[in-house]
Amino acid sequence: MTERPYVVDEMISAKAIAARIEELSREIKRDFSQTDKLYVVGLLRGSFVFIADLVRELDLPVEVDFLEASSYGDAMESSREVRILKDLRGPIEGRDVLLVEDIVDTGHTLNHVISLLQSRSPKRLRTIALLDKPTRREVDVRADWIGFEIPDEFVVGYGIDFAQRNRNLAFIGKVRFEGGE
């Protein structure tokens, strides 16, 4: 399946992503202006490029940690079952926490991870997603900050993969199979 030839059509340019991150960082900084240190949690692996750019714009004291939840595997459909594959290194009780996700699609992952983190009694938990596909939602969840709303297309790049490829594209693009679907 993954050997089927495809091309990636640019949807959001690197420049547009950078400009949006600058805007979002200003809002986040304002919202967390009282924090002594922000505990930034990236959801692996898709958020690794986003979190790297985001924390460098934030200009707040931050601690960076990662959490890995089970994902699509190499398929293009959500499994709807969320398992934690790698947990946080540190406790978040009483901390200001920012959860960073690449894409909110059906919403199962974000919903599950928010419940998990809330159960650990952070002082404040906020969420940011680079991309949101609202038309795909199956559970009622929304990130506090969203980079871009996108239509129901399978996207890659800027950390986001298709069968582990294309994470290193500087832009977000949509996958188009050669010769049609």
Give me the active site residues, please. 105
Tell me if 155 contacts ligand 5GP by CB under 6 A.
yes
Torsion of CA 28, 30, 34, 40, to 10 degrees: 10
Q: According to CB under 6 A, which one of 53, 96, 101, 132 is a site residue for ligand 5GP?
A: 101
Rounded least distance, CB 6 to ligand 5GP, Å: 12
Helix H or strand E encompassing 51: helix 48-58
Kindly state the number of chain residues that form the binding site for ligand 5GP, as judged by CB under 6 A. Answer: 20
Tell me if 46 contacts Mg ion by CB under 5 A.
yes
Give me the phi and psi of 163, to 5 degrees please: 50, 45
Give CA angle at 27 (121, 158), nearest 5°: 90
Rounded least distance, CB 43 to Mg ion, Å: 5
Shorter beta-carbon distance to Mg ion: residue 46 or 147? 46
Tell me if 104 contacts ligand 5GP by CB under 6 A.
yes
85, 72 contact by CB (below 8 A): no
Q: Which residues here bind Mg ion, judged by CB under 5 A?
A: 46, 71, 102, 161
